[in-house]
């Protein structure tokens, strides 16, 4: 295929992906009540993780801008659309990349794409159940002075919700990237073992980037990420043995 043919294929991939996300976002507008019931659960003191850990707080959200609630609904609808449509987005990406690979590479890298959805949803669940509640608890209880009270806007909560849940979900794609690089012969198990000390630094930096950087939420993200790095070593070893 020529350069322009590849560009045409990329255009089609992007068009179908964006169309799928937009169609799924319509569902977010139709089912507004269940959507925001799920979104506001981590902001409720009755959320099971707070009862389990004995955390107690009170959070009343306010709106101070005319169009803020509509924009929050728009952001929530598209955020949920990306989460629901992630398997299709991965499939479109695979359709675009697969023709450029040799048969051996396609077989090796294909496993990473098959795992990508599972790891993404594992990360989304971790962000929703653990990281976001830890962030809410930390920032609601943090104060520079007793004279300052926290008045949380719906926009600020929604920004934390979408960025935390989606970024933690994407950060959990770490093992799939390593498996793909291993399948292409770029990484091997010995390199991963030697890079453990660098992996610790990289995991801490990544955890700081995808969380508001409070110590608890960073630890909640960093611990499973490093565990996934160790899992990646085992996966890489198995793959190398298969290739040999």
Q: Is the pLDDT of residue 240 over 50?
A: no
Give the pLDDT mean for 169-174: 87
Q: Is the pLDDT of residue 153 over 60?
A: yes
Mean pLDDT for the stretch of residues 14-29: 94
What pLDDT was estimated at residue 57?
A: 76
Whether 3 shows a pLDDT value over 70: the answer reads no
Q: How confident is the model at residue 242 (pLDDT cuts 50, 70, 90)?
A: very low
- Count of structural domains, the chain: 1
Q: Does the structure show a pLDDT above 70 at 212?
A: no
Q: Which two tokens stand for residue 120?
A: 């993404």
| Least confident range of 22-26, 61-65, 212-216 | 212-216
Nearest residue to 122 (alpha-carbon basis) of 175, 44, 72, 162: 175
Q: What is the mean pLDDT of the chain?
A: 84
* Domain interval for residue 187: 3-243
Bigger pLDDT: 55 vs 212: 55
Q: What percent of the chain has pLDDT over 90?
A: 30
pTM: 0.84
Q: 119-142: per-residue pLDDT in tens?
A: 999 999 999 998 898 888 888 877
Instruction: Identify the pLDDT of residue 214.
Output: 67
More confident position, 23 or 60: 23
pLDDT at position 27 is: 92
**Could you tell me the pLDDT band of residue 83, with boundaries at 50, 70 and 90?**
very high
| Contact in structure between 57 and 140 (CB atoms under 8 Å) | yes
Of residues 1 and 124, more confidence is placed in 124
CA dihedral (68, 69, 72, 76) in degrees, to 10, reads -170
Stretch 85-114: mean pLDDT: 85
Q: 214-220: long-range contacts at Cβ-Cβ below 8 A with a sequence spacing of 24 or more? A: 214/134, 214/135, 214/138, 214/139, 214/142, 216/134, 216/137, 216/138, 217/131, 217/134, 217/135, 217/138, 217/164, 220/126, 220/130, 220/131, 220/134
Assign 80 a pLDDT band (cuts: 50, 70, 90): very high
CB burial readout 67-86, b (16+ within 10 A) else e: ebeeebbebbbbbbbbbebb
Give the residue, 181 or 75, on which the prediction is more confident. 75
pLDDT at 228 over 90: no
pLDDT tens column, 42-65: 988 888 888 888 887 778 888 888
């Amino acid at each position: 295929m020529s350069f322009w043919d590849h560009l045409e294929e990329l255009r089609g991939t992007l068009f179908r992906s964006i169309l799928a996300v937009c169609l799924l976002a319509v569902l977010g507008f139709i089912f507004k009540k269940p959507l925001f019931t799920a979104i506001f659960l981590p902001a409720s003191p009755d959320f099971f993780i707070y009862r389990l850990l004995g955390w107690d707080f009170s959070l009343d959200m306010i709106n101070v801008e005319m169009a803020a609630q509509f924009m929050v609904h728009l952001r929530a609808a598209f955020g949920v659309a990306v989460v629901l449509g992630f398997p299709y987005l991965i499939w479109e990406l695979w359709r675009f990349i697969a023709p450029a690979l040799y048969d051996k590479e396609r077989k090796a890298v294909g496993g990473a794409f098959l795992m990508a959805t599972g790891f993404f949803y594992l990360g989304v669940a971790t962000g929703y159940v653990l990281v976001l509640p830890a962030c809410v608890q930390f920032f609601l209880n943090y104060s520079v002075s007793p004279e300052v009270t926290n008045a949380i806007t719906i926009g600020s909560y929604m920004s934390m919700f979408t960025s935390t849940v989606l970024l933690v979900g994407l950060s959990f794609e770490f093992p799939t990237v390593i498996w793909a690089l291993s399948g292409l012969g770029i990484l091997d198990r010995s390199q991963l073992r030697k890079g453990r000390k660098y992996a610790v630094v990289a995991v801490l930096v990544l955890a700081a980037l995808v969380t508001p950087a409070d110590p608890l939420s960073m630890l909640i993200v960093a611990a499973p990420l490093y565990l996934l790095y160790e899992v990646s070593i085992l996966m890489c070893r198995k793959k190398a043995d298969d290739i040999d």
